Structure 1
Amino acid sequence: MKPIVVIPARMNSSRLPGKPLADIHGEPMIRHVLRRGLEADVGPVLVAAGDPEIANALALAGGNVILTDPNLASGSDRSHAALSSFDLDGNYDVIVNLQGDMPTISPSLLRKAISVLDDPQIDIVTLATPISDPAEAERTAVVKVAMEPAAENSSTGRAIYFSRWPIPYGARNLLHHIGLYVYRRNALDKFVAAQPSQLERLEKLEQLRALVLGLIIGVAVVDTHPLGVDTPEDLDEARRLLAPSAAAIS
Structure 2
Amino acid sequence: MAAIGIIPARYASTRLPGKPLVDLDGQSMIQRVVAQARQANLARVVVATDDQRILDHVRDFGGEAVLTRPDHPSGTDRVWEAFEQLGQPGDTHCIVNIQGDEPFIQPAQINALVDLFSPAAPPPIATLIKPVLTDEELFSPHLPKVVTNQHGQALYFSRHPLPYQRQHPSHDWLAHHQYYRHLGLYAYQPQVLRQLTLLPPSPLELAESLEQLRWLEAGFAIQTAITELDAFGIDTPEDVARAGQRLARG
TM-score (norm 1): 0.91
Unpaired stretches in structure 2, ≥5 consecutive residues: 166-175
Q: Deviations over 1:60-99 (max 9, x none)?
A: 2223110011210111110101110112453323100001
Query: For 1:61 and 1:190, how far apart are their aligned partners in 2?
Result: 34
Match of 2:190 among 185, 192, 197: 185
Q: 1:135 to 1:68 in 2, by over 3 A?
A: same
Unpaired stretches in structure 1, ≥5 consecutive residues: 151-156, 246-250
Secondary structure, aligned partner of 1:66:
strand
Q: Does 1:223 align with 2:228?
A: yes
* Post-superposition offset of 1:232: 1.6
Q: Check conservation: 1:50, 1:67, Cα contact below 8 A.
A: yes
Q: Check conservation: 1:44, 1:63, Cα contact below 8 A.
A: no
Secondary structure, aligned partner of 1:58:
helix
User: Which residue does 2:153 correspond to in 1?
Assistant: 158
Matched residue count: 239
Query: For 2:78 and 2:112, how far apart are their aligned partners in 1?
Result: 23
Secondary structure, aligned partner of 2:103:
coil
Query: For 2:64 and 2:109, how far apart are their aligned partners in 1?
Result: 21
Query: For 1:95 and 1:109, how far apart are their aligned partners in 2?
Result: 14
Q: Deviations over 1:181-233 (max 9, x none)?
A: 00111110110011111111111110111111211101111112220111122
Q: 1:173 to 1:208 in 2, by over 3 A?
A: same
Query: For 1:44 and 1:88, how far apart are their aligned partners in 2?
Result: 13
* Post-superposition offset of 1:33: 0.5
Q: 1:89 to 1:108 in 2, by over 3 A?
A: closer
Query: For 1:92 and 1:238, how far apart are their aligned partners in 2?
Result: 33
Q: Check conservation: 1:129, 1:177, Cα contact below 8 A.
A: yes
Query: For 1:65 and 1:147, how far apart are their aligned partners in 2?
Result: 35
Q: Check conservation: 2:143, 2:159, Cα contact below 8 A.
A: yes
* Post-superposition offset of 1:244: 7.1
TM-score (norm 2): 0.91
Q: Check conservation: 1:48, 1:67, Cα contact below 8 A.
A: yes
C-alpha RMSD of matched pairs (Å): 1.6
User: Percent identity of the aligned residues?
Assistant: 38
Q: Check conservation: 1:104, 1:241, Cα contact below 8 A.
A: no
Query: For 1:115 and 1:88, how far apart are their aligned partners in 2?
Result: 21
Match of 2:219 among 214, 234, 239: 214
